[in-house]
Every structure is written in C-alpha cells, then in structure tokens.
Chain A
Amino acid sequence: MTSPVIQAAWAHTPERSNMFMLRVMSWISLRLGRRAGRVVLHLIAGYFLLFAPASRRASGDYLGRALGRPPRWRELYRHFFTFAATIHDRMYLVNRRFDMFDFEVHGEDMLRRLLADGKGLFLLGAHLGSFEAIRAIGRKDTNLRVAMLMHEENAQKISAMLAAINPEAVQDIIGLGHIDSMLRVRERLDQGGVVGMLADRTPGDDTLYPVQILGANANLPGGPFRMAALLQRPVVFMTGLYLGGNRYAIHFDPLADFSTVERGQRDAALHAAITRYAALLDQYCRKAPYNWFNFFDFWQPAPATTPPNK
C-alpha cells in the first residue's frame, strides 16, 4: 500500500438526508401511490432547493461542470427532483412492481456471458441514477440476485428500511467490517453470484486514488477495486439512469477483469480499473446530468502524499 491516504471528505456528511428522504418517500409511496407521491416529490425538491444551501451549492457546482455553464434555478430543481424520484421509485422496485416502469437495457448480453462462467462477478455502481434498477434485470431469472456490500452502519439502516418495505429483500445485504463479511462475499462469488458495491464514496479511512471526472480532480476509494483484484473476479459497471416519467435506461459496461491478474501486476491493474471507472462516471454524468446524487463537495484536490499508514 504505497498510495496516499487521506480522510475522505464526505465521511463527515452522514447519510442523514438520504435516510430522512427514504422514510418520507416510503410512507408516501405505500399510502398514496406513485402519481400522488410524485406531487409530493415536487414539494421535496422545492424544499431542498430553498432550505438546503449546502446541497444546493454542491448541486450547482456539479451541474456547472456537467453542463459546462452555470446552471439555472430550473436545472437545480430538476436535479433535486430526479434524486427524489429515484428514491421514490426504489420503493416500487424493492416491491417488485416492475410492471410500472419502462426499462431499456444496454449491455445485458455481456453481463450474461460473464455470469455463464459461473465464477461470479462484481457489479460496481455509483450514486448515479438508480442501482436498485438491477432488480428489474433479476426478475427474469433468480440467478441474478445481487448481494449488496456496504458499510456496516449503512447496512443496518438500509436493512431496517428494506424490512419495512419488503422483508424478502433483506438477505441481499452484506455489511462490511469484519472477516465474516469478506468470507461471505467470497462464498457468494464461488456460487456464481453477483456482489454489488457503490464505489464512488468511502465511509472512512481508505486509500484514495486521484482521478479526473468532468475535467477536475476527485478522489476515489481503492477498497472496492482491491477486493475485486484480491478475489480475482470480473468487474462490470452498472447504472440505472432515470430518463423522466416512468423510464429508466440500464447500462452495463465491462470495467475490468482481475481473473488472471497475479499479485505482482495487481497495483497496475487496479489503477487502470479506477481510471476506467472514473471515465465511465464522466461519460454518464454528461449523458444524464441530473442523475448524479453526491450532494457534497465531491471535487477535491489530489491528496498530498503522506507516508503509508502501515
């Protein structure tokens, strides 16, 4: 581990607002239905626009980069609305109400070819669009059941939330943080399963890698890629972009294949994978700008090189 290590900027920004939104949206979705719920989404988007200055600044900063010009208020509003809409729709996706949506899917053949090898794979997403849309792919066959790997604290919150919405969804979450979770990941892969991770944030100390996204420097955590390299599995990028109305575009892109990467080549392969991941984020942010859901100061200078902590 010779890469620079710094404290992640967002570690101080708990997912409080996300969880609050999730609670509110869960209630609305289940009591009032999607159409009525979406009326409330406008109120929520308006509320965030007016009363969450930090989120508004982050949104404006991001949209400025993605659109290449200062955003209008309408565009900031649309950004918040898109965020609220995907969280709202998550309730229905978790409840397997796929009939309510129109999905276009890109790259599914590539994904299924890799799955057919039976060695399992990692599916890497981001806080970009709806990762939950993967459930729509899994509906055709139960083999494609994704186990989400996430930080323990979030895992507990999300598990509790999913339990309230659909108890069957709960077993698909693996909390990170002790040796057992790692062995569970390996078992899942050995059974030919899919392990999902959101690789654009880190909930604490992790080795950070400087990358370029939307023409500026940002830092990505190395952890998810290290794990894929260690367990020598293919990695596929996935995003479910919200296109408006009830439409989503699900994209799968090959990201890396660590199957034959030996220890000596690992660092180079890891760097290449992170760079590719950053390029995919850049590509989809430009393609569907309102789908970026990191409402904090994501763009940071490259970390000063500090001695490794080990």
Chain B
Amino acid sequence: MTIMQDNQKPTVSSTAELQREVAELMIECLNLEVTADQITPDAPLYGDGLGLDSIDVLEVALVVSKRYGLQLRADSADNQHIFSSLRSLSDYIAAHKTR
C-alpha cells in the first residue's frame, strides 16, 4: 500500500468535521441521493461502495481541488489511494489544502 510517497508533509489524519464537509461537497456536485451520514468513511468510492464511475470521480477531483486549492497531477502514483475512500481523500485534503 502506497501512502503519500511524494508528500513532503507528514501524513495528517482528517477530522470527522472535514470528512463530513467533503461528503457534502460530493453529494452536492454529483446530486447523490444519500446524506453525508450515510457515506461510510472507509467504503470505496468506486464500484460497490458509493458506486461512482470514473467521470464522477473526475468531477469530485475538480470540485475538491478548486475548493481546497489542491494540485492533482496525472503522474502521481498516489491518485489511486487518494480517491479510494472518503477518509483517504479527506486525509489528503487535510495534508495539502492551501485554503
């Protein structure tokens, strides 16, 4: 399991508050018919978990990078991990957000 290889900062754990905020952002941009409470932090975003497809995930990536001032790059080996669950995405935001 790769964990933040090219990350200069130490791994930061996200708070429940941030996870909720990110969940609400996802629900809003994808018009998901669930509430933030129903999204389990460790359930996969793809497939069986939340059931997002790759275009949904792109949309989340665009919205999240705009909201938190993140730079997501195609050649990063971490992308797979970052977008694996709400928790990992929130952890990444906590560590890298610039706003």
The interface of chain A, by Cβ under 8 A from chain B, is 1-2, 176-187, 205-206, 223, 226-227, 230-231, 263, 308-310
Contacts and interface: CB of A to CB of B under 8 A. Distances in A.
Interface of B: 29-34, 50-59, 61-62, 72-76, 79-80, 82-83
Contacts of B79: 178-180, 183
A179 B62 CA distance: 11
Contacts of A309: 51
Contacts of B76: 180
Nearest to B52: A310
B61 A182 contact: yes
B20 to A, nearest CB: 19
Contact of A183 (B30, B33, B52, B61): B61
Contacts of A308: 33
Given A179-B61, A180-B79, A184-B74, A223 B55 contact: yes
B50 A182 contact: no
B31 A2 contact: yes
Contacts of A180: 74-76, 79-80
Given A1-B31, A230-B59, A187 B74 contact: yes
22 contacts: A1-B31, A178-B79, A178-B80, A179-B80, A180-B75, A180-B80, A181-B54, A182-B54, A182-B61, A183-B72, A183-B79, A185-B58, A186-B74, A206-B53, A223-B53, A227-B55, A227-B58, A230-B59, A263-B29, A309-B51, A310-B31, A310-B51
Contacts of B52: 310
Contacts of B75: 180
Contacts of A310: 30-34, 50-52, 56
Contacts of B32: 310
A151 B72 CA distance: 22
Nearest to B84: A179
Contacts of A2: 31
A184 B58 CA distance: 11
A173 to B, nearest CB: 14
Contacts of A182: 54-55, 57-58, 61
Give the 8 A-B CB pairs with smallest separation, nearest first.
A182-B58, A183-B74, A184-B74, A179-B79, A179-B83, A180-B79, A226-B55, A310-B32
A179 B85 CA distance: 13
A205 B76 CA distance: 27
B58 A230 contact: yes
A93 to B, nearest CB: 28
